[in-house]
Amino acid sequence: MRKKLLVLLLYILIVGTANAQEKPQDAPIPEAEVFTSTQTVRINGTTHSLKTRAGTLQLKDENNNPIALHGFTAYFKEDGPSKRPIIFAYNGGPGSSSYWLHMGVMGPKRIVVNDPGYTKAAPYELVNNDYSILDIADVVMMDPIGTGLSIPIGKAEGKDFWGVDQDIRATSLFIMQFLKEYDRLQSPKYILGESYGTFRNAGVMSYLLDKGIALNGVIMVSAVFDLRTLTFPPNDDIPYVVYVPTYAATAWYHNKIANKNPNLEAFVDEVRKFTEEEYMPALYKGTRISEAEKNQIAEKLVKYAGCSKEFWMRANLRVQASEFFNELLRDEGMTAGRLDSRWKGINENLLNQFATTDPQSDAISPAYTTGFLDYFYRDLGVSKKLNYKTSAYSSPGFKWDWSHQGNQGWGTQIAINTSIDMANAMNKDPNVKVLIMNGYYDLATVFYGVEHSIDHMGLRPEIRNNIIMTYYEAGHMMYTHMPSLVKFKKDLADFIQDTSKR
């Protein structure tokens, strides 16, 4: 028996050794691939010729090991070294590619949608983007790993990129390596993020500065820095407070309040005063609030944000976003948009407490998706063998790591907040300026939440003055609204021209 066992062990050893020898070597590291074309854009009567590159850059880690093919589309006015401003732009998610900003405001072409209604099916209208920033700056549209053409390579895996800190690092590595690859180290530098892209921005500006890359400016489109302001965690009154002005703006737009102030800005200022002086102190009392005061606050909420007094009382004066935009238009059988509350769509179940769909997203997504893919493969000449992923959500194992290593001794944060990173960068570089662009009707990232975050960054007055706030009578993607698109271009152009001067 012992002899048979020894023979069996010897057999396993020999076969195992043979199999190990027959195991194929690691697959070769794929090379980057870039497709070039010439695009044009006509702005203010002048036609600009753009040398365009769409494809990937082989991203390397700090030890020069390849870790990803990072997708991008770059529009350059000229080849070679240039001191023309350059903007690195991306959307959010996390897990979204950059095609929303690309086809909405940043690129030479833009998709036309029916604002604020439902856009009909193809053929979609792709027009010259008269309001692109490409007359003033070069633009690089970035697609985070798992989106666009971006994939991990070598020994890297998706989890190495899918997290707050992992994403900040990868984005920063791409920017640094791109600047070197395309001889743009001496260009005035900007990063522009939308939604989660602003949360990313706050970390990237700090990361780059620590690596010796100072930015001229940072642009935040529909910003969020403190995740508490969006997530409605238990026993935290902050999100309920910061949402009320946007609830009010939404009710104002849909005529759900009586005797409304005809001036939106003045109305919003009145609501800000109410939230700070009456609503917030009332919530702070918790169950100590008297029934009389509770009734009084509920009546004020009806005055400013619509819905019924019974609704606010049943909610204990605390209403989450998806509850509000499902309730406001319930009597019409409709629900208001999350990304842009000017939109409204059919409420499929009037008994629902929470909204089950976002009318704005439903209304414009097909136009943006199909229109962009047609442009990407046909106009930019990208190989149709390459699959462009509009999001990373379908990627195997996609799961976001929400932990974040804070600055200045904060340690790992429980309530994730990258305004700490932004404050750190602004204090270290008092020349950098930040432009924050807010939509009054954005129920995804509310403007009053941004204001709260900025007011609690602990900045000295002269540093706080480096933050510029602009507001638009539209939502999360304010550039779908023509008057806001015009204002967006002017505000962005003024910011870049001011901050790129020596």
Q: What is the pLDDT of residue 406?
A: 67
Residue 185: the pLDDT is 97
**Second-level CATH architecture of 34-228+366-499:** 3-Layer(aba) Sandwich (3.40)
The helix (run of H) or strand (run of E) holding residue 127 is strand 126-128
The two structure tokens encoding residue 211 = 């690596």
Looking at the chain, the domain(s) classified CATH 3.40.50.1820 span: 34-228+366-499
Q: Which residues of the chain have pLDDT under 70?
A: 1-26, 406-414
Residue indicated by tokens 């029916």? 114
Whether residue 28 has a cis bond before it, omega within 30° of 0: no
Residue 119 DSSP symbol? P
Q: What is the pLDDT of residue 412?
A: 57
User: Given this model, what pLDDT does residue 24 score?
Assistant: 42
Residue 490: CB atoms within 10 A of its CB come to 12
3-state helix, strand, coil in the chain (%, to 5): 40, 20, 40
**Token pair in block for residue 177:** 């390596």
According to the model, what pLDDT value does residue 413 have? 58
Write down the pLDDT at residue 78: 83
Helix ranges restricted to H, 220-327:
228-231, 238-253, 264-274, 280-284, 291-305, 309-314, 321-327
Q: Which of 373, 337, 356, 307 is nearest to 478 (CA)?
A: 337
Residue 286 Cα distances to 260, 290, 317, angstroms: 30, 10, 10
**What gap in Å lies between CA 301 and CA 308, rounded to an integer?**
9
Angle at 213 between CA 212 and CA 216, to 5 degrees: 140
CA-wise closest residue to 59 among 147, 156, 141? 156
Cis ω on the peptide bond leading into residue 66 (within 30° of 0)? no
pLDDT of residue 79: 76
- Pair of tokens at residue 206: 């700090």
| Cα–Cα distance list, 370 to 61, 121, 208, 367, 376 (Å) | 34, 10, 35, 6, 10
The reply to whether the predicted model has a pTM over 0.85 is yes
| pLDDT of amino acid 27 | 76
* Nearest CA-CA partner of 333 in 344, 323, 345, 347: 347
Q: Please state, in angstroms and rounded to a whole number, the distance separating the CA atoms of residues 283 and 97.
A: 39
What is the amino acid identity at position 486?
V
Burial code of 428-453, b = ≥16 C-beta within 10 A, e = fewer? eeeebbbbbbbbbbbbbbbbbbbbbb
Q: How far is CA 154 from CA 20, 60, 66, 391, in A?
A: 20, 10, 6, 22
Helix (H, G, I), strand (E, B) or coil at 314: helix
Token pair listed for 237 = 């009154």
The alpha-helical segments, DSSP class H, found in 328-408 are: 359-374
Structure-token match 């992992």, residue found: 166
